[in-house]
Amino acid sequence: MADAVRTVREREDADLPELAAVLERVYAENGYPVEGIADPPAWLEHPHAIQHWTAVVDGTPVGQVTLAEAQPDDDAARAWAEHTGGSVTDIAVMARLFVDPRHRGQGLAGFLILVLRHHAYLLGRTVVFDVMAKDTAAVRLYDRSGAARIAEVTHRFNDGLTEPALVYVFPEPRVAG
């Protein structure tokens, strides 16, 4: 796998079937997303998306991430506003990040995060997000990535499920002057 070509690019509609298959493998292995995936292609279409990116290995989509407009009822946005006193118009939410279990450990999640953070910075937005506390590998990734944990919340899902979650914010990038 050392010679594989890895990249991140804007997601294309043609990526959706393969990403839906990847999402099904992620769900089978990790239970992500916790609310299930009755319709993987629909789940990939975030209703408040600003931009989506796809991680690609040798031309095949193997993961993705979405930057979304913050909504006042988002757990991460609400926790950030309570923590900082800021407005949700100043932030964007990282969502729907996943990488095929067969391609983990190659830095693809970090690369997706880096591209997303750069785009948010260009928009003048701070990136916030949450992760289910049960997703310990993701929690370790975010702790290593420099994100600051700012709150613990309980997600409530449409079917009455609840799940403990951790809210993070990425610090503003430092610009050399």
78-87: per-residue pLDDT in tens?
Answer: 999 999 999 9
**pTM, full prediction:** 0.92
Answer whether residue 131 is part of any domain: yes
The number of domains in the chain is 1
Is the pLDDT assigned to residue 10 strictly greater than 80? yes
Distance CA 41, CA 166 (A): 26
Is the pLDDT assigned to residue 16 strictly greater than 70? yes
- What pLDDT sits at residue 173? 67
Is the pLDDT assigned to residue 8 strictly greater than 60? yes
Give the residue from 27, 18, 89 showing the smallest Cα distance to 55: 18
Distance CA 169, CA 77 (A): 10
Mean pLDDT along residues 8-37: 93
Q: Report the CATH number at residue 37.
A: 3.40.630.30
Q: What is the DSSP letter of 170?
A: P
Q: What is the DSSP letter of 173?
A: P
Give the Å distances, CA to CA, from 53 to 12, 16, 116, 134, 161. Answer: 8, 11, 8, 25, 29
Give the three-class secondary structure for 107: coil
Give the Å distances, CA to CA, from 162 to 10, 60, 144. Answer: 33, 35, 26
Distance CA 66, CA 174 (A): 23
Range of 76's domain?
A: 6-169
Tens digits of per-residue pLDDT, 151-176? Answer: 999 988 777 888 999 999 998 766 55
Tens digits of per-residue pLDDT, 75-119? Answer: 999 999 999 999 999 999 999 999 999 999 999 999 999 999 999
Give the three-class secondary structure for 69: strand
Answer whether residue 12 is part of any domain: yes
Answer whether residue 174 is part of any domain: no
Answer whether residue 44 is part of any domain: yes
Q: Sign of the CA dihedral 127, 86, 76, 19?
A: negative
Answer whether residue 1 is part of any domain: no
Is the pLDDT assigned to residue 3 strictly greater than 90? no
